[in-house]
Structure 1
Amino acid sequence: MKKKVILLTVLVLILLGGGAGGTYYYAIASKYISTEDARIQGDLRAIYPPGAGKLIEWNYKEGDSFKKGDVLGIVETVPAHGNTPAQTQDIIAPEEGTILQFNGIQDQMVSSSSAIAMSANLDQLYISANLQETEIADAKVGNPVTITVDAYPGAVLTGHVERLGLGTNASFSLLPSSNASGNFTKVIQRIPVRIALDSYQGQRLVPGLNVTVKIEK
């Protein structure tokens, strides 16, 4: 008899716990759209030499910031004729940013068609999140967003929906899927949503970091 009472008590506690968990999940799901399919992004810019020649100077290492119009480096152009003196051309920063990657080598020959560096403005980062098509109707421009960054578990950032995508990710694929077999299986599509950050909360954010977002409906 005692064992039955204990068993019934445990069963009731499990049911109560499950009910409470279900109620909490329903409350969260009815108030927020949540996804882990989201990353910090920045507008990446490739930096090209102004012409073919030798890279005789580069003034910025990875992580260094620069202003629009700064001289990032100097290229010594190859003379078209043997008796023509070599000339130099400055590599001018097209806009403010930070060097994320540098692929050049001092005194290396470079081409105007090959990027020697990648940059982004780290003060203008944003979140790119992918929502299921069944959720997109509840997302509106201006909706508040709570953001947690995998790299900084204790930090909670805030933002707002800035832009909703005008097509699914699959519709922009260079190789869209085809149905040659005749068998059809519906796949839930995802639509990109751009989220603006209200502030960085003192965290060092860089493009590519994984985040989890909760968008208020």
Structure 2
Amino acid sequence: MKKKIIILTVLAIILLGGGAGGTYYFAMASKYINTEDAKIAGDLRAIGTPGAGKLIEWNYKEGDSFKKGDILGMVETTPARGNTPAILQEIIAVEEGTIIQFNGVKDQMVSPTSAIAMSANLDRLYVTANLQETEIADAKIGNKVTIKVDAYPDAVITGHVERLGLGTNSSFSLLSSSNASGNFTKVIQRIPVKISIDSYQGKRLVPGLNATVKIEK
């Protein structure tokens, strides 16, 4: 009899715990949209040269920041006519940013069609999150967002929804998703959402970091 009472007590505790967990999950789902399909992102800019020639000078290494109008480097270009002196052309920054990748080598031949560096404004990063199509109706521009970055698990970063995508990710795919076989499997589509970051909380954020977001409905 005593053993039966113990078993019933344990079952009751399990059921109560499961019920409490289910209630908590339902409460969270009714208040927030959660997704781990999110990354820190930024507007990357390819830096090219004003003309074809030799890269004779480069003034910034990876991690260095610059302002609009700064001279990033210098190219020595040779005019089409061989008897004309070479011309020095400055590589001028069209906007502020930070060099995040440099592929050039001094004295190498360069051309305007090939990027020698990549830059991004690390002070204007944002989060790109992909929401299921069944969730997008609850996402509104201006909704508050809690952001957790995998690289800094103890930091709580806040933001807000800035823009909702105007198409699903698959609609921008280069590969056609049309089905000519007659067989059809419905797949939940995902829509990209841009989330502005209110404050970095003193953390060093860079494009590509994984994140988890919780969007208030």
- What are the superposed Cα offsets for residues 132-183 of structure 1, whole Å, 9 maximum, x if unpaired? 0000000111111111100000000111111111111111111121212110
The alpha carbon displacement at 1:214 in A equals: 0.5
Cα distance in structure 2, aligned partners of 1:85 and 1:178: 58
What is the rounded CA distance, in whole Å, between the counterparts of 1:131 and 1:176 in structure 2?
21
SS at match of 1:7: helix
Q: Which residue number corresponds to residue 63 of structure 1? A: 63
1:42 aligned onto 2:42: yes
Q: For 1:176 and 1:205, locate their aligned partners in 2 and report how far apart those are by CA, in whole Å.
A: 35
- Indicate the residue corresponding to 1:111 in structure 2: 111
**Separation (CA, whole Å) in 2 of partners of 1:203 and 1:176:** 40
* Corresponding position of 2:33: 33
Q: Which amino acid aligns with 2:52?
A: A
Same amino acid, percent of matched pairs: 82
What is the CA distance between 1:12 and its match in structure 2?
1.1
Aligned to 2:179: 179
Structure 2 unmatched runs, 5+: none
| Cα distance in 1, alignment partners of residues 182 and 69 from structure 2 | 57
Number of aligned residue pairs: give it.
217
Aligned to 1:76: 76
Q: How high is the TM-score relative to the length of structure 1?
A: 0.98
Distance 1:20 1:55 in 2: 66
Q: Equivalents in 1 of 2:73, 2:196: separation in Å?
A: 33
Q: CA deviation at 1:34?
A: 0.5
State the match for 1:85 in structure 2: 85
| Residue 142 in structure 1 maps to residue 142 in structure 2 | yes
2:157 maps to: 157
- The offset of 1:83, in angstroms, is 2.2
The one-letter amino acid of 2:120's match is A
Which residue does the alignment assign to 1:206? Answer: 206
Provide the alpha-carbon RMSD of the alignment: 0.9
**Distance in 1 (alpha carbons) for counterparts of 2:134 and 2:9:** 40
1:115 Cα deviation from its structure 2 partner: 0.4
Structure 1 unaligned spans of 5+: none
By how many angstroms is 1:9 displaced? Answer: 1.5
Poorly superposed stretches of 4+, deviation over 6 Å = none
Alpha-carbon distance between aligned partners in 1 of 2:123 and 2:40, rounded to the nearest angstrom: 12
Given the two structures, how large is their TM-score scaled by the length of structure 2?
A: 0.98
